[in-house]
């Protein structure tokens, strides 16, 4: 029983990270109709900014705030510089653009910061562990579960109770008509990317607390998992992205336990096969997004 | 109130609207008639700034509005109830209405909302329901109510009775008459030629992106062009 709860905590905390990244992808997808493959680089940017801020002697919490501001800013810049000029282009074109941004940023990181991983030790309260009733849990995992829950609730409140949130929901359902309501398209584009940047930054803190270092390609692996999560959950559906993220977290931890050590290398191939199975048999995902209105 | 001069709309190489001019006086109902593909919806979308006009001028109450952006045009007091209703299907009825008032400072507690709920009790009854679950007639009602939330002076209606039952269509035209008595200026695009001639003061007939005829609705009802093309010998089942 204790062991089961321990695994459940692991699955929830890992799934929560995937859910945050998938949410960021889904928010952009719901409005623009493409998956932003440069989203992973937002995690990396957060990591480097945090690393250099802490190296400069800034304490952890303010350094995290600076990092979050940076990942939001870079996300908004991406939209302004690369995606906005392509407005109205085929989503496939935007997708390829996002690959290009991702590749370019990875090279810039390598040249600027070196290919070697930079160790980024987390403060004691994030890297420590404690036991509750005989169950051993990492502080990072508990914090991760709490942060993900708070963020998802906050996002929900933002989307349903604020003007910008409502405008964002409407834009995701029917962009032309949202403009007809007097919603300014540019503002929506910026806000959507800013939120995806914020979610990427928060996911990055939790991701880095699991791995303990920053390197130029660190964003790639979680991005692929989150991409699978958005497909499994249902492209463009925010609830689906969260469900897909947790689904993936549970699956990964379950495979980790179930597979004999020699076969552990098959963990990710099995996960990607699930993706193919979903695409074949349930392409709309677990919780399909609203069907786009007939134009 | 609204004056369109030599308007051109182009989609790539295709010219959908080829330099049309028309005007609507304050308090008037003007119908835009014409077969599918004649450029009616493109004209409305260009007036609202949803598609870019490639030439010409559009003046609302004497001020040029081309290139101002849809949000600004809505703020200036003109809005559109779009073809096919286009309510936000996954949002509640009330949120759809609130979105209509988004250009207003008091969008959250708009006094217009209470008035609209009195006028359309069914929307009040269904306020928490998702708009996608409403019937076609109710969605049309919601689309018009959503447009009215922005307190327009000029209302553009694109095919408000498309695909609706005859009884609902009648209610729609009654509503249009009512709105006029409240001082609204209306540009109506309709497939239902007879009804729109009956409700409007003047009419413009579009064909292939050009104005083929125009005049007073009562006169047009007797004109050969309209009688032959729309009222008289139209093939059975033709829209």
Distance of CA B54 to the CA centre of its chain: 21
CA pair distance B22, B58, nearest whole angstrom: 10
Question: Torsion angle of alpha carbons A290, A18, A68, A169, nearest 10°?
Answer: 10
CA pair distance A188, A176, nearest whole angstrom: 12
Of A46-50, A134-138, B48-52, B223-227, the poorest mean pLDDT is in B223-227
- Report residue A290's pLDDT band, with 50, 70 and 90 as the boundaries: low
For residue B89, give the nearest of A166, A180, A290 by CB distance.
Answer: A290
Average pLDDT rounded to a whole number, residues B117-146: 94
> Among residues A212, A233, A190, which one has the least CA distance to residue A18?
A233
* DSSP letter assigned to residue B235: P
* Distance in Å, alpha carbon of B184 to nearest chain A alpha carbon: 19
- Which residues in chain B touch residue A170, judged by CB atoms under 8 angstroms apart? 88, 91, 99
B9 forms bridges with which residues in the sheet? Answer: B17
Residue A50 burial (10 A CB sphere; 0-12, 13-18, 19+):
buried
- Give just the sign of the alpha carbon dihedral B145, B147, B153, B156: negative
Q: Answer whether B10 touches A (CB < 8 Å).
A: no
Q: What is the pLDDT of residues A106-148, one digit of tens each?
A: 999 999 999 999 998 888 777 777 777 777 778 888 888 898 8
To test the contact with chain B by mutation, choose from A180, A186, A236, A289 the residue with the greatest count of B C-beta atoms within 10 A, namely: A180
- Give just the sign of the alpha carbon dihedral B200, B204, B205, B208: negative
pLDDT value for A21: 95
Tokens of A277: 């199975």
Task: Verify whether the Cβ–Cβ distance A184 to B150 is below 8 Å.
Answer: no
User: Does residue B227 register a pLDDT over 90?
Assistant: no
Q: What is the pLDDT of residues B15-61, one digit of tens each?
A: 999 999 999 999 999 999 988 888 999 999 999 999 999 999 999 99
pLDDT value for B149: 95
* Distance in Å, alpha carbon of A125 to nearest chain B alpha carbon: 42
CA pair distance A113, B88, nearest whole angstrom: 47
Integer angstrom CA distances of residue B60 from A213, B9, B77, B189, B205: 60, 18, 9, 18, 21
Q: What is the pLDDT of residues A61-106, one digit of tens each?
A: 999 999 999 999 999 999 999 998 887 788 899 999 999 999 999 9
Q: What is the pLDDT of residues A156-205, one digit of tens each?
A: 889 888 888 899 889 888 888 999 998 888 888 899 999 999 999 999 99
- Report residue B235's pLDDT band, with 50, 70 and 90 as the boundaries: very low
Task: Verify whether the Cβ–Cβ distance A294 to B79 is below 8 Å.
Answer: no
- Report residue B236's pLDDT band, with 50, 70 and 90 as the boundaries: very low
CA pair distance B17, B204, nearest whole angstrom: 14
CA pair distance A172, A164, nearest whole angstrom: 12
* Distance in Å, alpha carbon of B70 to nearest chain A alpha carbon: 6
Average pLDDT rounded to a whole number, residues B226-234: 63
pLDDT value for B232: 55
Q: Answer whether B102 touches A (CB < 8 Å).
A: yes
CA pair distance B103, B78, nearest whole angstrom: 11
A263-267 own/partner pairs: CB under 8 Å, 24+ apart? none
- For A:117-176, CB contacts with B below 8 A are 163, 166-167, 169-170, 173-174, 176
On whether the CB atoms of residues B2 and B24 are closer than 8 A, the answer is yes
Average pLDDT rounded to a whole number, residues B85-97: 93
User: Does residue A50 register a pLDDT over 80?
Assistant: yes
For residue A184, give the nearest of B71, B84, B150 by CB distance.
Answer: B71
pLDDT value for B237: 44
Q: What is the pLDDT of residues B158-187, one digit of tens each?
A: 999 888 888 889 999 999 999 999 999 999
* A209 contact partners, CB below 8 Å, separation of at least 6: A122, A126, A127, A140, A143, A144
B187 forms bridges with which residues in the sheet? Answer: B30, B156
ipTM of the complex: 0.85
> Among residues A165, A10, A113, A163, which one has the least CA distance to residue B102?
A163
- Report residue A213's pLDDT band, with 50, 70 and 90 as the boundaries: very high
Residue B121 burial (10 A CB sphere; 0-12, 13-18, 19+):
exposed
User: Does residue A293 register a pLDDT over 50?
Assistant: no
**DSSP per-residue letters across chain A:** -HHHHHHHHHHHHHHHHHHHHHHHHHHHHHHHSS--TTHHHHHHHHHHHHHHHHHTT--HHHHHHHHHHHHHHHHHHHIIIIIGGGTTS-HHHHHHHHHHHHHHHHHHHHHHH-SSPEE-PPPHHHH-EEEETTEEEEHHHHHHHHHHHHHHHHHHHHHHHSHHHHHHHHHHH-HHHHHHTT--HHHHHHHHHHHHHHHHHHHHHHHHHHH-EE-TTTTHHHHHHHHHHHHHH-TT-HHHHHHHHHHHHHHHHHHHHHS-GGGGGGHHHHHHHHHHHHHHH-TT-SSPPPPPPP-
**DSSP per-residue letters across A53-65:** HHHTT--HHHHHH
pLDDT value for A292: 41
CA pair distance B69, B107, nearest whole angstrom: 20
Tokens of A199: 């979610």
Of A52-56, A170-174, B203-207, the poorest mean pLDDT is in A170-174
Average pLDDT, rounded, for chain B: 90
């Amino acid at each position: 029983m204790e062991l089961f709860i321990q695994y459940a905590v692991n699955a929830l905390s890992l799934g929560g990270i995937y859910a945050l990244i998938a949410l960021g992808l889904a928010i952009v997808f719901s409005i623009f109709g493409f998956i932003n493959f440069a989203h992973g680089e937002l995690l990396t940017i957060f990591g480097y900014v945090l690393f250099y801020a802490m190296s400069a002697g800034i304490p952890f919490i303010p350094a995290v705030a600076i990092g979050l501001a940076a990942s939001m800013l870079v996300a908004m810049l991406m939209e302004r510089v690369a995606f906005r000029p392509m407005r109205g282009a085929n989503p496939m074109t935007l997708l390829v653009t996002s690959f290009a941004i991702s590749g370019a940023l990875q090279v810039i990181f390598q040249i600027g910061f070196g290919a070697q991983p930079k160790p980024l030790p987390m403060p004691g309260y994030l890297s420590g562990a404690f036991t509750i009733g005989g169950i051993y849990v990492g502080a990072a995992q508990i914090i991760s579960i709490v942060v993900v829950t708070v963020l998802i609730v906050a996002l929900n409140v933002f989307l349903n109770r604020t003007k910008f949130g409502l405008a964002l929901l409407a834009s995701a359902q029917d962009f032309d008509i949202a403009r007809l309501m007097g919603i300014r398209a540019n503002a929506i584009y910026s806000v959507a990317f800013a939120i995806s940047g914020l979610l990427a930054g928060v996911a990055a803190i939790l991701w880095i607390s699991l791995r303990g270092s920053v390197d130029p390609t660190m964003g790639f692996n979680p991005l692929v998992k989150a991409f699978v999560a958005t497909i499994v959950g249902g492209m463009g559906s925010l609830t689906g992205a969260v469900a897909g993220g947790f689904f993936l977290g549970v699956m990964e931890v379950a495979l980790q336990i179930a597979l004999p050590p020699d076969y552990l290398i098959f963990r990710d191939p099995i996960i990607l096969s699930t993706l193919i199975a979903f695409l074949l048999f349930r392409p709309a995902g677990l919780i399909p997004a609203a069907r786009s209105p007939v134009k | 109130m609204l004056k369109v001069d030599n308007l051109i709309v182009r989609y790539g190489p295709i010219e959908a609207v080829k330099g049309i001019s028309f005007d609507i006086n304050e308090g008037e109902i003007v119908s835009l008639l014409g077969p599918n593909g004649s450029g009616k919806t493109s004209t409305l979308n260009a007036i609202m700034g949803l598609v870019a006009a490639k030439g010409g001028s559009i003046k609302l109450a004497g001020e040029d509005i081309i290139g101002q952006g849809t949000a600004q045009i809505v703020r200036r007091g003109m809005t559109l109830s779009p073809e096919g209703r286009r309510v936000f299907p996954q949002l509640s009825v009330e949120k759809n209405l609130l979105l209509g008032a988004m250009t207003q400072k008091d969008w959250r507690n708009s006094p217009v909302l209470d008035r609209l709920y009195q006028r359309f009790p069914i929307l009040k009854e269904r306020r928490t329901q998702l708009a996608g679950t409403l019937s076609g007639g109710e969605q049309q009602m919601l689309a018009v109510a959503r447009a009215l939330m922005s307190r327009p002076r000029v209302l553009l209606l694109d095919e408000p009775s498309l695909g609706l039952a005859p009884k609902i269509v009648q209610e729609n035209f009654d509503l249009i008459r009512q709105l006029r008595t409240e001082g609204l200026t209306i540009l109506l695009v309709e497939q239902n030629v007879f009804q729109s001639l009956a409700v409007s003061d003047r009419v413009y007939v579009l064909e292939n992106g050009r104005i083929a005829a125009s005049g007073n609705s009562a006169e047009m009802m007797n004109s050969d062009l309209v009688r032959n093309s729309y009222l008289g010998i139209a093939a059975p089942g033709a829209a």
